[in-house]
Amino acid sequence: MNCFEYRDAIAEFIEGTLDADGQRALERHVESCAACRALVADLKSIQAAAFTLDRHEPPTGVWERVRDRVAAEPRSDTRGRVLVWPRSRAAWGIWAAAAAALLITTVTGVYPLINERRHRTDLAAGSQPSGDVASIQAEFQAAEEHYDRAIQGLEQIARSQSGDLDPQVAAVLQKNLQVIDQAIGESRSALKMQPSSTDAQDSLFDAMRTKVAVLQQTVELINEMRKGNQAEAGRLIKGLNQ
Amino acid sequence: MHRFKLLLLIALTAVTLTAAIPARAASAPADHPRGVDPHARAAWLEHYQDSRRGPEQTERFTQSYKVGADSALDLQNLSGNVRVTAARGNEIRIEATKRVRHREADEAKRLLGELRIDVSQVGNRLEVRTIYPRMSGRGGLSASVDYVISVPANTAVALKTISGDVTVADVHGEVRAETTSGNVDVSATPNLASAKTISGNVTARSISAPATLTLGTVSGSVIASALKVRAIDAGTVSGNVQLTDVHVERVDAKSVSGDIEFDARLAQGGRYAFNSHSGNVRIVLSGAPGFELDASTFSGSIRSDFPVTMRSTADSSGRDRRGLNRAIRGTYGDASAILSVRSFSGNVVITKK
């Protein structure tokens, strides 16, 4: 079998529905195939992210309002709709994970494009202000807002679930997030003083990207601690460090 | 006269303090109070732990497993150090020490029995998992397992632990070494795929392979030396990045508050990016081929000992109102390598060895 033929097996493996023989065959293949190994790791991380986000339900009030509206609506066939309102917590989790993934992908994709455009504009127009420059500034602001939203979302997850982390590790992460926050603050202050400074802009986005990465690591770590025996182990580690 | 005495007293106090503080700093590390024998202190701490959590009880586990040429080891541990080295032969040998503490000796013994090392072998692949005992809710338990493992040199090794150091040496198969709280030390591992920790240092030494090394930590330093690899991705938040004696075609080194040091020879056609927010960046080049330089800082300064021909752009002077260099963009020699160096508030130095 080639890599393409293993795709279904990988999907079943991630979903936990692959039989023992298939699993053994897949494991043998994955051991020797870096591409499939990367795919398995990627799917596992997405599944892990969905698992974490699964636990975030909208506030009770939202559910009540939705329920009331659904009850008030006349019954109709859902066939032909593109999206159906998720009914289960798991479905909410998948949508939330997809939204977070889209947000992070957008954020990590937006800045390089703007940066490339900025350099092209610099080369074409020298340092003269132009409509293009103004539009790039607007794109910068939009990118910054995207980063802010991604950071807020991840921070919310990390804060609400940080009880699953070893306190010492949580403290280390917190301390380093403060270091990054300081870098973000310094870059923003510099941008206020010199709005067109590319050094300040680059520095701000570097710091924000780093913060997204550290928060992602934090969420991944929380997931790790929650898996099976690890959850118990997290409490054990706490005892160990006391 | 009274005023004179007061001034003399202040002066004498200042002199005494100035002399005393460095002497203390030199004689006693910050974490050991002056005059305290660190060994005695450690012994006392051990005794204190014993009285609070009970004496340590240990049990050894030794087992060997026959494997073929394309063997793989996948180990997940929670607490304890892991050391993997290569050895001749066709077996994976595990020597582990289980450690448990509990205030009640009988309970400690029971927990030691429940602290299991689960090894499953499928073909040439060995999976090792540490199974921790369920806690009774009475607290006071501490448990860890230290592993010392030898594998055939070509074994693919994946190690993951939460609390503890991870060391891998002389393994030629693919190596992934991760911990959360502890140091990662890899040496002579030509197929190192990743070495990561969150709280601790990552050290990579004596690696020669056409590979990309990913070395990352959050709170700690990345230290790499004697490497001959294709690419290095090195990142930390609050530690330093130190790359010395490396032959590499692509480098991406980042820190938020730490310093970055690169002491090596550039490769023709190589791409090198160094970026720290508030740390200094020092590039020491030996026998460098030409390079295209893009160096900038917002509030630090830049110095290049290489005669760089500046680009003819409007800001080519790169100097601010105080005459400090804030940017150098230009070429040196044949410009065959690309060097991008940035620090927001630190200083940048590019110098010759």
Find the radius of gyration of the CA atoms of chain A: 23
Residue predicted with more confidence, A241 or B182: B182
Contacts of A239 in chain B (CB under 8 A): 135, 139-142
B145 bridge partner residues: B98
Predicted pLDDT at B38: 57
- Prediction ipTM score: 0.75
| Overall average pLDDT of the A78-82 stretch | 33
CB contact under 8 A, A186 and B131: no
Nearest chain B Cα distance for residue A239, angstroms: 6
Nearest to B243 by CA among B218, B287, B213, B270: B213
For B261-307, what is each residue's pLDDT tens digit?
999 999 999 999 999 999 999 999 987 689 999 999 999 999 999 99
Q: Cα angle vertex B165, ends B148, B213, to 5°?
A: 100
| Overall average pLDDT of the A114-130 stretch | 52
List the 97-136 stretch of B: residues with Cβ below 8 A of A.
122-123, 125, 131-132, 134-135
d(CA B134, CA A164): 17
Is the separation of the CB atoms in B184 and B178 below 8 Å?
yes
Q: Name the pLDDT band for A93 (thresholds 50, 70, 90).
A: very low
* C-alpha distances in Å from residue A185, one per residue of A192, B162, B300, B301: 11, 32, 17, 21
A180 touches chain B (CB under 8 A): yes
Instruction: Return the structure tokens found at B127.
Output: 């999976």
Per DSSP, the residues of B151-195 read: EETT-EEEEEEEES-EEEES--S-EEEEEEES-EEEES-TTEEEE
* C-alpha distances in Å from residue A139, one per residue of A104, A105, A208: 16, 16, 16
Residues near A147 by beta carbon (within 8 Å), at least 6 away in sequence: A107, A205, A208, A209, A212
State the virtual CA torsion across B22, B27, B32, B33 in degrees, nearest 10.
-70
Distance between alpha carbon A167 and the CA centroid of its chain, in Å? 23
A171 touches chain B (CB under 8 A): no
Among A36, A210, A225, A232, pick the best mutation site for testing chain B contact (most B Cβ within 10 A). A210
Q: What does pLDDT average to over chain A?
A: 67
Predicted pLDDT at B25: 36
Per DSSP, the residues of A157-208 read: HHHHHGGGS-HHHHHHHHHHHHHHHHHHHHHHHHHHH-TT-HHHHHHHHHHH
Nearest chain A Cα distance for residue B237, angstroms: 6
* C-alpha distances in Å from residue A169, one per residue of A65, B98, B198: 40, 23, 8
Contacts of B218 in chain A (CB under 8 A): 172-173, 176, 214, 217
**Highest mean predicted confidence (pLDDT) among A77-81, A103-107, B74-78:** B74-78
A32 touches chain B (CB under 8 A): yes
A240 touches chain B (CB under 8 A): yes
Nearest chain A Cα distance for residue B235, angstroms: 10
Predicted pLDDT at B47: 57
> Which H or E element spans position B218?
none
B72 touches chain A (CB under 8 A): yes
d(CA B254, CA B256): 7
d(CA B245, CA B268): 16
Q: For residue B39, is pLDDT > 90?
A: no
Count of A-B CB contacts under 8 Å: 126
Predicted pLDDT at A196: 83
List the 286-315 stretch of B: residues with Cβ below 8 A of A.
296-299, 313-315
Predicted pLDDT at B236: 96
Would you call A6 helix, strand, or coil by DSSP? helix
List the 267-286 stretch of B: residues with Cβ below 8 A of A.
275, 277-278
Contacts of B296 in chain A (CB under 8 A): 198-199
A203 touches chain B (CB under 8 A): yes
Query: How far apart, in Å, do the first and last CA atoms of chain B sit?
Result: 59
For A199-228, what is each residue's pLDDT tens digit?
898 899 999 999 988 988 888 888 777 664
CB contact under 8 A, B218 and A172: yes
Residue predicted with more confidence, A91 or B41: B41
For strands B175-181 and B91-101, give the pairing. Answer: unpaired
Residues near B42 by beta carbon (within 8 Å), at least 6 away in sequence: none
Contacts of B163 in chain A (CB under 8 A): 166, 237, 240
Residues near B96 by beta carbon (within 8 Å), at least 6 away in sequence: B60, B61, B62, B117, B145, B146, B147, B148
CB contact under 8 A, B132 and A229: yes
CB contact under 8 A, B78 and A203: no
Would you call B98 helix, strand, or coil by DSSP? strand
Instruction: Return the structure tokens found at B27.
Output: 């004689």
d(CA B248, CA B232): 7
Residue predicted with more confidence, B13 or A66: A66
Contacts of A210 in chain B (CB under 8 A): 235, 237, 254, 256
The neighbour count for residue A170, using CB atoms within 10 Å, is 17
* C-alpha distances in Å from residue B9, one per residue of B3, B12, B14, B16, B18: 10, 5, 9, 11, 14
- Which residue in the set A176, A203, A224 is minimally distant from B344, CB to CB? A203
Predicted pLDDT at B274: 97
Q: Name the pLDDT band for A135 (thresholds 50, 70, 90).
A: low
**Highest mean predicted confidence (pLDDT) among A201-205, B110-114, B151-155, B324-328:** B151-155
A233 touches chain B (CB under 8 A): yes
Residue of B nearest to A127 (CA): B314
Nearest to B340 by CA among A113, A198, A107, A105: A198
Is the separation of the CB atoms in B189 and B227 below 8 Å?
no
Nearest chain A Cα distance for residue B164, angstroms: 11
d(CA B344, CA A185): 12
Q: Cα angle vertex B326, ends B321, B328, to 5°?
A: 125
Is the separation of the CB atoms in A139 and A121 below 8 Å?
no
Predicted pLDDT at A198: 86
A221 touches chain B (CB under 8 A): yes
B195 touches chain A (CB under 8 A): no
Q: For residue B314, is pLDDT > 60?
A: no
